[in-house]
Amino acid sequence: MRAPASNASNASAGALGKCTMATFIVLLGPPGAGKGTQAKRISGILGLPHVSTGDLFRENLADHTALGVEAGEYINKGQLVPDSLTIAMVEERLTRSDCAPGALLDGFPRTLAQAEAFDEMLEKSFNSKVFCVPCIEVDPDLLVERLSDRLVCRNGHVFHLRFSPPKKAGVCDLCGEPLYQREDDKAETVTKRIEVYNVQTAPLIQYYEDRRLLRKINGDQDIEAVTQDILSVLNEANAVNLTGTKIAQKGNGIE
Ligand code: AP5
Ligand code: MG
C-alpha cells in the first residue's frame, strides 16, 4: 500500500495510478502521550489531514453547537463521549475531500465499538483498511506532569511550560492567539482520563496487535526522537510518500 498524496500533490498521485489506496494511520496512546504533538508533525510530512476527535469536539464546544454542548458534559468530567456521537462525527469528517487520500487519526478510535465501526467505515467508503497503529508509550507518572503544564491556543497548537515553551510567555508562536490550560487538564480530571484510557481504550492495543498493525513507540524521549521513531515504523510499514520516495528520516524541515 502506498501512502497517499496531499491535495497539493494530486498530479503526482495520478502518476502513481488508480490502485493507490487511501492510507489511514491511527495514533494510539494515553492522554498526554504526545499524540497531538506528533500528529501535527507527521501529518505535515505525509501530507495527510490530521483528524483529532478531541479537537473536533472542542471546536464544536467553542461554537456552542448541539454536539459541542452534549460532548462538553462528558469531556469536562474526563469521560468518553458516547460512541454513537463520536462515530457519526468521524464519519462526517471523513467524507470531506481532504480525506480522500486518507488521514492521520488522533484520539480515535478509543473503544472497541469505535474500532469496529472504523474498520467498517474504511471498507465501505474507501475500500481500505487501517494501515498502521503507532502506539506512544509513556511512563504513567510523566503523563500527569505533561498535562498539568500543557498550554494550548484556540487553534489547537500545543506547548508545554518546560518541555516545549512558547517563545513569548502566554502567546502561541504559530498564530499569536493567547495560550491557556484546557479545562480537562485540571488534576482530578486528568486522573479520571487516565483511568478511562486504561479501562476503555487500552484493549485496542490487543485489537490492533491481533491484526499485526500495532507498533510500540517509546514516548519517553524528546519530541523529535519520537517523530523519527514513528516515521521509522511507518517506513517499515511501507508508508512511502506521494512521489514514491521513502519518508525522509532526516532534515524533514519540521521544527
Ligand atoms: P483528546 O483531546 O484526544 O485528549 P487525550 O487523548 O486525553 O489526549 P491529550 O490531548 O490530552 O494528549 P496528547 O496525547 O494529544 O498529548 P499532547 O501532544 O497534547 O480528548 C479529550 C476528550 O475528548 C476525551 O477525554 C473525551 O472526553 C473526548 N474524546 C476525544 N476523542 C474521543 C473518542 N474517540 N471517543 C469518545 N470521546 C472522545 O502532549 C501533552 C503535553 O506534553 C504537551 O504539553 C506537549 O507539549 C508535551 N509533550 C508531548 N510530547 C512530549 C515529549 N516527547 N517530551 C516532553 N513533552 C512532550
Ligand atoms: Mg491531544
Q: Which atom of ligand 1 is nearest to the CA of 109?
A: 34
pLDDT digits (tens, 9 = 90+) for 205-242: 999 999 999 999 999 999 999 999 999 999 988 644 43
pLDDT digits (tens, 9 = 90+) for 3-29: 433 333 332 232 223 336 899 999 999
Least distant ligand from the CA of 111: 1
Is 247 domain-assigned? no
pLDDT of residue 52: 97
Least distant ligand from the CA of 34: 1
pLDDT digits (tens, 9 = 90+) for 106-121: 999 999 999 999 999 9
pLDDT band at residue 1 under the 50/70/90 scheme: very low
pLDDT of residue 192: 95
pLDDT digits (tens, 9 = 90+) for 179-214: 999 999 998 899 999 999 999 999 999 999 999 999
- From the candidates 2, 40, 93, 110, which is the catalytic residue? 110
Q: Report whether pLDDT(80) > 90.
A: yes
Is 180 domain-assigned? no
Is 167 domain-assigned? no
Is 162 domain-assigned? no
User: Is there a catalytic annotation at residue 110?
Assistant: yes
Is 250 domain-assigned? no
CATH number where 79 lies:
3.40.50.300
pLDDT of residue 7: 34
Is 104 domain-assigned? yes
Residue 77 sits at φ, ψ, to 5 deg, of -100, 0
Is 219 domain-assigned? yes
pLDDT of residue 244: 43
pLDDT of residue 12: 27
pLDDT of residue 69: 96
Domains identified in the chain, total number: 1
Average pLDDT over residues 44-63: 95
Is 148 domain-assigned? no
- From the candidates 2, 93, 146, 193, which is the catalytic residue? 193
CA of 19 to the centre of ligand 1 (A): 34
Boundaries of domain holding 51: 6-138+196-236
Q: What percent of the chain has pLDDT over 70?
A: 85
What is the value of pTM for the model shown?
0.88
- In the block, cell 465499538 appears at 113
